[in-house]
Structure 1
Amino acid sequence: MDNFVVSARKYRPQTFDTVVGQHAITSTLKNAIRNNHLAQAFLFCGSRGVGKTSTARILAKTLNCFNRTENIEACDQCESCKSFNEGSSLNVYELDAASNNSVDDIRSLIDQVRIAPQLGSHKVYIIDEVHMLSTAAFNAFLKTLEEPPKHAIFILATTEKHKIIPTILSRCQIFDFNRIKVKDIANHLSKIAVNENITADPDALHLIAQKADGALRDSLSIFDQIVSFSGNNLTYQAVLDNLNILDYDYYFKATGFANEANIPGALLLFNEIMDKGFDGHQFIVGLAEHYRNLLVCKDPQTKELLEVGETIQQKYIEQSKETDTHTILRSLHVLNKTDVDYKSSKNQRLLVELALMQLCSLKEELEKKKA
């Protein structure tokens, strides 16, 4: 039986061009290598799963490649690249600062820094979760970071830049990694689905990308989970069932009832949502996001801010035509207040029901004012 390799490892970027959603950073690093203008200390900052450690490894591999391509990518054929791919390269040293955060761990690293590389031109030291180092360890590291040997390059990676002492920050070239856009994640998942011979609904991939909240690694973990659940046919419904997400249809129906001033319909819909085990707060937050999306659809210039699949985007455009801007803004005000009051409320269900009744009454109030 073949060993299963999770997608996050199997499709980990191996070249600068395969890093998703960080084009500005990868272009800068490639230009620095091309022009021989590379700093000796880098700080890669950003939330989880955005490519910090992957980019650090690619940089280490490319620096020591003997036959770099014209596009400044590693060749994958030379001795240095092969040893890196096999995990046996002596030129790359990785330290997890979360579990190796003492002065002794840093002193051990400093002792290794003095030794020149046996193969290639640089020794690269990648320190992950660097914010976990103790203050004493940071201070022990300062002098080496300021005046490292010519062959040494340090790449520090962190999710919490504010925890790093200013004296370390001042010695590093800082790169802030973006949260990856929903569209970029969905496109990447689509390519993986093709490679794995999986039929995937585009709306399902968009939903996975949204749930990942800007982290590509999270999206790949969710993707694997749903493929295990549904087999080689990844549908929108399978994602909803597996991740226990409220379907967009509920929000479209709730807005439809509000536009029709149909209070009984709105209350029965909310009762159905509660019966399915969903949280009232989750519904209110999702409905507020829905109204925000309707507002975004009102102008062609802001339509690009809508991070959903094409089918659902068309539904938003149609419903935004049926809902006037003033009603949307008033609805957002009601929902925002409900969101703020939810945790302190003694009767949370009644609070949500009152909000729905207010939404259903807005159109009538507006017409009375006009009259």
Structure 2
Amino acid sequence: MSQALYRKWRPARFDDVIGQEHVTRTLKNSVAAGRLGHAYLFCGPRGTGKTTSARLLAKAVNCLHEDVAERPCNECTICQSIRDGRFLDLIEIDAASNTGVDDIRDLRDKINFSPSEGRFKVYIIDEVHMLSTAAFNALLKTLEEPPPHVKFVLATTEEHKVPVTIKSRCQQFNFRLLNLAEISERLTWLADKEGFTIEPEALRMIARQGAGSLRDAESLLDQLVVGKDDVITAERTQMVLGTASNEAVVQLTNAWLSRDGAGGLALIHEALASGTDARQFCRQMVAYLRDLLLLQAAGDTLPLEATPEQRDEMLAQAQRAPRQGLIEAIKKFNEAALVGAGSWQPQLPLEMAFIELLPDTAVPIPTAAPAKPKVEQAAPAQPAVQQKIVVEEETAVSSTPPPEKPKAKTKAKEADEAEPTPSPASDKKAVKEAATPLTVKEVQGVWAQLVTQSGDKIKNLPALLSMGKPLATEGRTLIIGFDYPLFKDKFDNLAGAAPLVSDVLTELLGQDAAVRAVVTSEYTVPVQPADFRALADELGGTVSEDS
């Protein structure tokens, strides 16, 4: 029967444990000197070697090898029975399942029996912080003065939950997270043993995804392996792990530094469409921005897991990014990474983290303010109207022009002939008078154009408008609905946003229009009489005006 890689290749000697030399060296020397404690407390994150070290200690104290410095030897019957799980004097207790005081009382009743095979009975209590208060109290006396043939090893991932009275009776060892180099070295060794190949980029992805836990990294590697002589590529690793490419992380950082909201959101959507997990993308952004912050603080001397080209690009970004902005970006993406995955819009925390980093004000535009295009169109027509009025007054005063001034008559005649031709200002006035109420369907037909054209003046506006939708109309006013108050407030506070959208909508529809932003859940959509009549016709009924 096949075994998981982390179980199949579990370290068999203290020297095989990776990254915990400060613990294994002490334990090995204690065994060699015969100065063993009666109780040990192993603390540290998951997957760092706590249970493995506890089993190695049980092997070492019961090993039959003549040279104590070589224990455990993995050759004697005791070592082999512990390896195969047949050693009766090694008792492993899961404190998460045996939390009550009755379980500890049962342990106390059996602890006085002598070992059946080895020199010592070793009790390994995993996740000891899960014990109840009564169970801890019942364990105190036994832990303080156990029988001489008993050794306790307590393991926990949450050391702060273990009572001080328990800690004071144990020798405490703190296990640390492994770095990328240590995890990569171990994974390469496993690949050689199993007979498959890992591409360097895939190896870095797996080691980084392990986040300091060797067991997590080995489990991910086990998930990617198809069979013997397999080649684990970066593309397959990225697809299985749901990670974004390094290029996507770099480009999103550039979009933030360039204040390119549309480009950044398009990059996020493209990455998510290709299978990237939103929370994993947030974690990658946190790790990358952290490196930029450390580069900015420590300079080029800081060691990084990056190629020379990547390092040069990171240095350039670190020089562009403001210190406080980097700190704020790390906080935002870290908060987004901690949001649960149960949301019906899992990409929303990532999008909001990016949008919140963009400036609230419009990007400075070198051209004139686009707030009043209507005045510019109407201005040329004004002199023509004034000229017409002056000509008519002259004609009225000189109804019988003297013969010596034929030019005045000609001028009045030309003005009368030109009178039927309406001016541009008169056209616009007629359009305004004939304007009909705005409809949502009408706006939906030009909504995509409106979103695109608004980005010509304010770069961040298309990304913000994409978070809203045409919700309703009130006369010639379009109501834009946003699902979250954050986006509604950003639209209202973005300088020039509402006037610009109004002008673009007016240009697209050919009639005056205004806009107003609301929160969708807080707005009641008005029902027009025409909608009632259409529904009545569809159902075969009539609309009564009686109250």
**TM-score (normalizing by structure 2):** 0.58
Which stretch has the larger CA shift, 121-130 or 192-201? 121-130
Q: 1:190 to 1:125 in 2, by over 3 A?
A: same
Matched, 1:325 2:319: yes
Select which of 207, 224, 227 maps to 2:222. 224
Residues 127 and 156 in structure 1, CA contact (< 8 A), matched pair in contact too: yes
Match of 2:15 in 1: 17
Q: Distance in 1 between matches of 2:143 and 2:266?
A: 63
SS in structure 2 of the partner of residue 117 of structure 1: coil
Q: Distance in 2 between matches of 1:291 and 1:119?
A: 56
**Superposed displacement of residue 291, structure 1:** 3.3
Residues 295 and 318 in structure 2, CA contact (< 8 A), matched pair in contact too: no
Overall identity of the aligned pairs, in %: 38
**Superposed displacement of residue 189, structure 1:** 0.6
Structure of higher RCO (CA pairs closer than 8 Å, 6+ residues apart): 1
- CA deviation vs aligned residue, 1:338-359 (integer Å, no higher than 9, x gap): 448868xxx864762463679x
Residue 137 of structure 2 aligns with an amino acid whose one-letter code is N
Match of 2:245 in 1: 247
Q: Distance in 2 between matches of 1:284 and 1:85?
A: 41
How do 1:278-289 residues align onto structure 2 when only pairs under 5 Å count?
278=276, 283=281, 286-289=284-287
**Superposed displacement of residue 80, structure 1:** 1.9
Select which of 4, 7, 18 maps to 1:6. 4
Q: State which structure, 1 or 2, has the greater radius of gyration over its C-alpha atoms.
A: 2
Match of 2:99 in 1: 101
Q: Distance in 1 between matches of 2:73 and 2:84?
A: 15
Residue 123 of structure 1 aligns with an amino acid whose one-letter code is K
What's the C-alpha RMSD, in Å, of the aligned pairs? Answer: 3.1
Match of 1:269 in 2: 267
Select which of 351, 354, 366 maps to 1:352. 354
Q: 1:99 to 1:280 in 2, by over 3 A?
A: closer
How do 1:1-371 residues align onto structure 2 when only pairs under 5 Å count?
3-67=1-65, 69=67, 71-228=69-226, 232-256=230-254, 265-276=263-274, 278=276, 283=281, 286-297=284-295, 299-303=299-303, 306=304, 308=305, 312-323=306-317, 325=319, 327=321, 329=323, 331-333=325-327, 335-336=329-330, 338-339=332-333, 349=351, 352-353=354-355, 355=357
SS in structure 1 of the partner of residue 40 of structure 2: strand
Q: 1:204 to 1:230 in 2, by over 3 A?
A: farther
SS in structure 1 of the partner of residue 173 of structure 2: strand
- CA deviation vs aligned residue, 1:232-266 (integer Å, no higher than 9, x gap): 10111111011110111112233455677777654
Q: 1:288 to 1:89 in 2, by over 3 A?
A: closer
Q: Distance in 2 between matches of 1:116 and 1:285?
A: 51
SS in structure 1 of the partner of residue 237 of structure 2: helix
Residue 53 of structure 2 aligns with an amino acid whose one-letter code is T
**Superposed displacement of residue 14, structure 1:** 1.3
Q: 1:319 to 1:138 in 2, by over 3 A?
A: same
**Superposed displacement of residue 316, structure 1:** 2.5
**Superposed displacement of residue 147, structure 1:** 0.8
**Superposed displacement of residue 281, structure 1:** 6.5
Q: 1:336 to 1:65 in 2, by over 3 A?
A: closer
Residues 43 and 173 in structure 1, CA contact (< 8 A), matched pair in contact too: yes
Which stretch has the larger CA shift, 23-32 or 281-290? 281-290
- CA deviation vs aligned residue, 1:202-231 (integer Å, no higher than 9, x gap): 221221121122221111111111113997
- CA deviation vs aligned residue, 1:292-323 (integer Å, no higher than 9, x gap): 323545634322xx3x3xxx433321203433
Residues 243 and 281 in structure 2, CA contact (< 8 A), matched pair in contact too: no
- Structure 1, unpaired ranges of 5+: 363-371
State the number of aligned residues.
350
Residues 291 and 328 in structure 1, CA contact (< 8 A), matched pair in contact too: no
Match of 1:367 in 2: none
**TM-score (normalizing by structure 1):** 0.83
